[in-house]
Copies of this chain bind each other. A is one copy, B any other.
C-alpha cells in the first residue's frame, strides 16, 4: 500500500540514516529518545534536534520538543526500506562475499543510499539464484571460498586439472594468458588476480580489477619482475605475481585507451 505521494521527496543520506536509527530504536525500546539517537549515530544532541525538525517538516516523524519521537506511516515505510537494504547488503557482503562483519556493516550503511530499485532487484536476484538454483548452489560458495581464501596463490588446494586458472598458468588455456608471458607492448584485460591473500588487496587497489585494460611494458619473462601500465600508471610486479595474473589478450590493432568514456 505504498501511497504514491513520493512526489519530489529527496532525502539526504544523513536523514535516511536518522530514520533507520529511529526504527531500530523503536524496536529495541518502548520509547525513542534524542539521547539514544545521538549515541547510536555518534553525534551530539543538538544535531539530533536539528534532524528531527527537518524530518517533522517532511512529515516523516512525529516530534514535539521534549516529547518522545515516533515515525509516521510514511517515515516508517522509508525507514523499513532503508533498513531492509542495509540488512540485505550486509548479509550479501558477509555471507556471499565473505567480508568481515564489522567492515560489511559499515560499507552496507554507506552503500544503502545509492542503490536504484533496479540494481537492488538484480542484486537480490543474484543472491536468490546463488542460494536456490541447484546447479549453481551445490557448492558455489564452497568453491568460491576454496579458490579465493588460500593464503598462497599456487597452493595445492587449487591445483586441479580442471581449474581454468591453473590451466591458464600452465599455458593450456586458449583465452587467458599470464602477465608473465604477455609480450611487450601487448594489451589485455585483467581476468584473474591469483596472488596471495595478503598481497591481493594491494594490487586490487592499484587498479588491477577484472576488466581493467593493462599494457605490458617489459618483455615476457617467467623469472624477472614485470613492468606493466594500468591507466597510464606504471606498476612493477614480482615475477611470481606476473605469472599469477591472468589476462584476456586484446588483439593488436584493437588497443583501448585507459579510462575512456
Interface residues, chain A, with chain B CB atoms under 8 Å away: 1-2, 23-24, 27-28, 76-77, 80-81, 83-85, 87-88, 91, 93, 96-100, 103-104, 106-107, 110-111, 113-129, 131-137, 140, 143-144, 147-148, 162-165, 168, 176, 191-193, 200-202, 204-207, 209-212, 230-236, 246, 257-261
Contact = CB atoms under 8 A, between A and B. Distances in A.
A162 B137 CA distance: 12
Contact of A84 (B176, B207, B246): B207
22 contacts: A76-B232, A77-B233, A80-B207, A80-B230, A80-B259, A84-B212, A84-B231, A85-B209, A93-B119, A93-B122, A98-B122, A99-B118, A99-B122, A103-B119, A107-B115, A107-B116, A117-B204, A120-B201, A124-B209, A128-B192, A128-B210, A132-B191
Contacts of A209: 84-85, 87-88, 120, 124
Given A120-B205, A209-B88, A80 B233 contact: yes
Contacts of A104: 119
Contacts of A125: 97, 144, 148
Contacts of A137: 164
A13 to B, nearest CB: 9
Interface of A is mostly: helix
Given A193-B124, A200-B121, A27 B232 contact: yes
A165 B201 CA distance: 36
Given A162-B134, A204-B124, A212 B87 contact: yes
A176 B120 contact: no
Contact of A176 (B113, B129, B132, B211): B132
Nearest to A89: B209
A251 to B, nearest CB: 19
A168 B131 CA distance: 13
A75 to B, nearest CB: 12
Contact of A233 (B76, B116, B134): B76
